[in-house]
Amino acid sequence: MQFFSSETIFSENHPITHPILDKAGISLVIKREDQIHSEVSGNKFRKLKYNLIEAKKQGFTTILTFGGAYSNHIAATAAAGKMVGLQTIGIIRGDELAKDLEKTLSENDTLKFASSSGMHFKFITREAYRDKTSTAFIEQLRDEFGEFYVIPEGGTNALAIKGCEEILTDTDVGYDVICCAVGTGGTIAGIVNSTHEHQKVLGFPALKGDFLFEEIRKYTVKTNWDLVQEYHFGGYGKINQEGVAFINTFKDQQHIALDPVYTGKMIFGIFDMAQNGVFPKNTRILAVHTGGLQGIDGMNKKLKKKRLPLITI
């Protein structure tokens, strides 16, 4: 499979210089997973890789997955499916989006992109979406679409974890703390699995809730990790002016774009923790930039409606 043929894709490690880091006596390096592919960026590439290989191996011609209207996973699945020659079906939360599809697509860059990559959508109500993994619903989908390979919402399953185990490489052994953003917990589980004993992984959840500890434990037996729950900015898909200002300043100073849903919150958290003296002197931190930049546009539309400052592109 051409797209995933190279077994080892390395992302560049980019050192950050900043007075706050100097003052804390720590170093911060960003692993540019956002740069591994222009359309299937960051951890979504890692999570899809072995799933698409498996779908092909089992002879499927279609993959089906789930997501919200701004989902990075939906955009990535559509693009990756197109590249490897698999049809894609996206079960999207929000039946109101189906009422005027043309208008929906003209207003939503994520869905527009997925659609132009050939993804077929089925929009369902929020209630139906909550029940999307039930056998009855999957059966109904098979009646409607025929056979397909299912990838869960957010892309997390055992094969996704296997792909995320390829994020860290042997050359990353020198870092003391590895940081990553957390949504479903699949990415952090894969990262934890490939750490060395002396390393600690800190996950920064993009949403509220203690359930993530349990989710992560499903995919890793190691215990050298923890979640930092102070930087979700009110919940999934939420951000405030301070967060937006941080993302914009960071981009000005470091020339690295961060997304408002995941990586912006994580880097904000790392700087805040550094300022509060949480990290011992000489701590070497590696923060994984998991991508997600396609989501900036959707967030800007929300910010614009509220007449708040936008994220600079």
Ligand X SMILES: *Cc1c(COP(=O)(O)O)cnc(C)c1O
- Nearby residues of 184 by Cβ (< 8 Å), 6 or more positions away: 152, 153, 154, 155, 156, 215
Using CB atoms, what's the residue nearest to ligand X? 292
d(CA 210, CA 107): 34
Q: How far is the CB of 72 from ligand X (least distance, A)?
A: 3
| Residues 9 and 36 sit within 8 Å (Cβ to Cβ) | yes
Judged by CB, which is closer to ligand X: 4, or 185?
185
Judged by CB, which is closer to ligand X: 24, or 151?
151
110 lies in the site for ligand X, by CB under 6 A: no
72 lies in the site for ligand X, by CB under 6 A: yes
Q: How far is the CB of 286 from ligand X (least distance, A)?
A: 15
182 lies in the site for ligand X, by CB under 6 A: yes
CB burial of residue 42 (10 Å; 0-12, 13-18, 19+): buried
* C-alpha gyration radius of the chain: 19
153 lies in the site for ligand X, by CB under 6 A: no
231 lies in the site for ligand X, by CB under 6 A: no
Q: Is 285 helix (H, G, I), strand (E, B) or coil?
A: strand
181 lies in the site for ligand X, by CB under 6 A: yes
187 lies in the site for ligand X, by CB under 6 A: yes
DSSP letter for each residue of 194-212? T--TT-EEEEEESS--THH
299 lies in the site for ligand X, by CB under 6 A: no
DSSP run (H or E) holding 28:
strand 27-31
151 lies in the site for ligand X, by CB under 6 A: no
| Pairing label, strands 27-31, 225-227 | unpaired
Span from 57-65, 121-129, 183-191, 296-304 in contact with ligand X (CB under 6 A): 183-191
d(CA 170, CA 80): 27
Q: Site mask, ligand X, residues 28-67, x = CB under 6 A?
A: --------------xxx-----------------------
287 lies in the site for ligand X, by CB under 6 A: no
Q: Which of 81, 163, 185, 298 contacts ligand X by CB under 6 A? A: 185
163 lies in the site for ligand X, by CB under 6 A: no
Span from 58-66, 101-109, 177-185, 279-287 in contact with ligand X (CB under 6 A): 177-185
Q: Which of 183, 260, 269, 298 contacts ligand X by CB under 6 A? A: 183
Judged by CB, which is closer to ligand X: 42, or 243?
42
- Nearby residues of 211 by Cβ (< 8 Å), 6 or more positions away: none
Residue 300 CA, distance from chain mean position: 18
Q: Which of 259, 267, 285, 296 contacts ligand X by CB under 6 A? A: 259
Q: Left (φ > 0), alpha (ψ -120 to 50) or beta: where does 154 sit? A: left
| Residues 298 and 43 sit within 8 Å (Cβ to Cβ) | no
Residues that bind ligand X (CB under 6 A): 42-44, 72-73, 154, 156, 181-187, 259, 262-263, 290-292
